[in-house]
Amino acid sequence: MSITNAMTIDVEDYFQVSAFEDVIDRSEWENIPSRIPENIEKILLLLERHNTRATFFTLGWIAVSFPQVIADIVAAGHEIACHGWSHVRLSDLTPEEFLADISSSRKILQDVSGQEILGYRAPSFSVTSETLWAYEKLREAGYLYSSSIFPIKHDLYGIPRAPRKPFVVEQTGIHEIPLTTVRMFGRNYPFSGGGWFRLMPYSLFRYGLKKVNNEEGMPGVFYIHPWELDPQQPRQLNLSTKTTFRHYLNLEKTNHRLECLLQDFHWDTVQSVFLGQKKYPTLAISELSGS
Range of the domain at 279: 4-289
Strands (E), the chain: 4-11, 55-58, 79-82, 119-120, 145-146, 167-169, 175-176, 181-184, 187-190, 221-224, 266-268, 282-283
Instruction: Give the number of residues written for the chain.
Output: 291
User: What is the pLDDT at residue 45?
Assistant: 98
Domain CATH number, residue 212: 3.20.20.370
- The count of other CB atoms within 10 Å of the CB of residue 25 is 9
List, for residues 113-128, the tens digit of each pLDDT value: 999 999 999 999 999 9
For residue 256, pLDDT over 70 is answered with yes
Task: Return mean pLDDT, the chain.
Answer: 95
pLDDT band at 1 (very low <50, low <70, confident <90, very high): low
Share of the chain above pLDDT 70, in %: 99
What mean pLDDT comes out for the span 53-66?
A: 98
For residue 156, pLDDT over 80 is answered with no
User: What is the pLDDT at residue 106?
Assistant: 98
Angle at 108 between CA 106 and CA 110, to 5 degrees: 65
User: What is the pLDDT at residue 157?
Assistant: 83
What mean pLDDT comes out for the span 182-209?
A: 95
What mean pLDDT comes out for the span 20-44?
A: 96
Run of H or E residues at 241? helix 241-248
237 or 176, higher pLDDT: 176
Task: Say how many domains are in the chain.
Answer: 1
List, for residues 263-275, the tens digit of each pLDDT value: 999 999 999 999 9
User: What is the pLDDT at residue 2?
Assistant: 86
User: What is the pLDDT at residue 84?
Assistant: 98
For residue 291, pLDDT over 80 is answered with no
- Residues 6+ away with beta carbon under 8 Å from 96: none
**Number of helices followed by number of strands (H, E) in the chain:** 11, 12
The reply to whether the predicted model has a pTM over 0.85 is: yes
Distance of CA 34 to the CA centre of its chain: 20
For residue 290, pLDDT over 80 is answered with no
